[in-house]
Structure 1
Amino acid sequence: MQTQQKEIQKEQTTIKLVEGTYTPVEAADILFALIGDKIKFHNMQILSLQERFGIDSVHSEQRIKELKAAKMQVKDLILEARDAGLTLQIEGNIKINFLPEE
């Protein structure tokens, strides 16, 4: 029995994750959920590496700092929009590329 390998497209794929116009409350819910999930992911990575290998994840620790800063920036934008009586248009695309394993 022969195994056929599926040919993988090596082109970039873009997926629309978020697209629309939102009130400041709706925008806060969406953006804080996305940022919060990424922070949780990196916290789990840190715990996993520490428990399994006894090492720290410098990358995940740095990303958490960056994500917390992004969260503060989003908070400021949402408060600004709310105070001005504005809605927010959000467009969030995810770009996916195939890379060879390291």
Structure 2
Amino acid sequence: MSVMINHKVNLVEGTFTPQESLDIINALIKEKINFHKLHRLSIAEGNLYEDTSYDDDRVAQLNEERQSYREFYKEIKQSGKKLRIKGTLEIEVLD
């Protein structure tokens, strides 16, 4: 099955200091966590028994990713090196 990419959004691209990269990654993860929290709230509103497990799992995964990046950041910060970040979203239309 071939997938056709219909649109791309170049979200982040550049060379950054370790602190700048930490700020960027934290901001992106924070926004995704907020999205899932709001989504969870909206689907559970009026129905406390609605299944919110997907959003719950994504929030947990994103928090793990944030912690993992912090550990990576500590190693890179000590090295004095810069980082290149490339973040392109690929959007495809599904049937």
Instruction: Give the TM bin, normalised by the shorter chain.
Output: 0.7 to 0.9
Matched residue, 1:57: 52
Gaps of 5+ in 1: 1-9
Matched residue, 2:30: 36
- CA distance, structure 1, for counterparts of residue 51 and residue 35 of structure 2: 15
| TM, length-normalised to structure 1 | 0.82
Identity of aligned residues (%): 33
Structure ranking higher on relative contact order (CA contacts 8 Å, 6+ apart)? 2
- CA distance, structure 1, for counterparts of residue 28 and residue 46 of structure 2: 27
Q: How many residues align?
A: 91
Alignment of 1:7-86 (within 5 A): 11-12=4-5, 13-54=7-48, 55-86=50-81
Structure 1 moving runs of 4+ over 6 Å: none
Bigger-Rg structure (1/2): 1
| TM, length-normalised to structure 2 | 0.87
Gaps of 5+ in 2: none
Per the TM alignment, residue 99 of structure 1 is displaced from its structure 2 partner at its CA by 1.1
